[in-house]
């Protein structure tokens, strides 16, 4: 059985493809989900891909991953800059966490430069577009192989 990786996406990412395409590109969240499924299969992983606009739901998913998943890839979106609760849940999961952002948050507005997740993440991918998800899954697969 392949190790299971939870791929989580935060608020407004359901609007990908139509929301600020100059910043986020034209790919939809469904396109990214398909990319993750193909990449996971290639890297010997299984993925659950989810998105929510409700912080409590995201927290519940992170809590449920503990002891069930081999790692978490997360694009917390706007919650990156605001949520200590998500940071604490990720720590409590005791799983490797890869933070992903489609855009280079460090080249954007100053409020986007701070992440509550980065300091506790195993790795951070920012500015690679959807390819950041593939890089995160590749990295986790290598890490899990030891």
Residues labelled as active-site residues = 24, 101
Does 81 belong to an annotated binding site?
yes
Residue 88 marked ligand-binding: yes
Was 75 annotated as part of a binding site?
A: yes
Asked if residues 57 and 63 have their Cβ atoms less than 8 Å apart, the reply is: no
Closest CA to 9 of 36, 42, 46: 36
Torsion of CA 30, 85, 104, 35, to 10 degrees: -20
Encoding tokens for residue 81?
Answer: 């800059």
Residues that constitute the known binding site? 75, 81, 88, 102-103, 112
Residues that constitute the known binding site for substrate? 75, 81, 88, 102-103, 112
């Amino acid at each position: 059985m392949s190790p299971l990786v939870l791929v989580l996406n935060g608020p407004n990412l359901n609007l990908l493809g139509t929301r600020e395409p100059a910043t986020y590109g034209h790919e939809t969240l469904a396109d990214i989900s398909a990319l993750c499924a193909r990449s996971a299969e290639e890297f010997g992983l299984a993925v659950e891909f989810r998105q929510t606009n409700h912080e409590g739901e995201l927290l519940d998913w992170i809590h449920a991953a503990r002891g069930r998943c081999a790692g978490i890839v997360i694009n917390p979106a706007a919650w990156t800059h605001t949520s200590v609760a998500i940071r604490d849940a990720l720590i409590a999961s005791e799983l490797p966490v890869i933070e992903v952002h489609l855009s280079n948050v460090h080249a954007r507005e100053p409020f986007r430069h701070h992440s509550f997740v980065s300091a506790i993440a195993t790795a951070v991918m920012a500015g690679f577009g959807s390819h950041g998800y593939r890089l995160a899954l590749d990295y986790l697969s290598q890490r899990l192989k030891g």
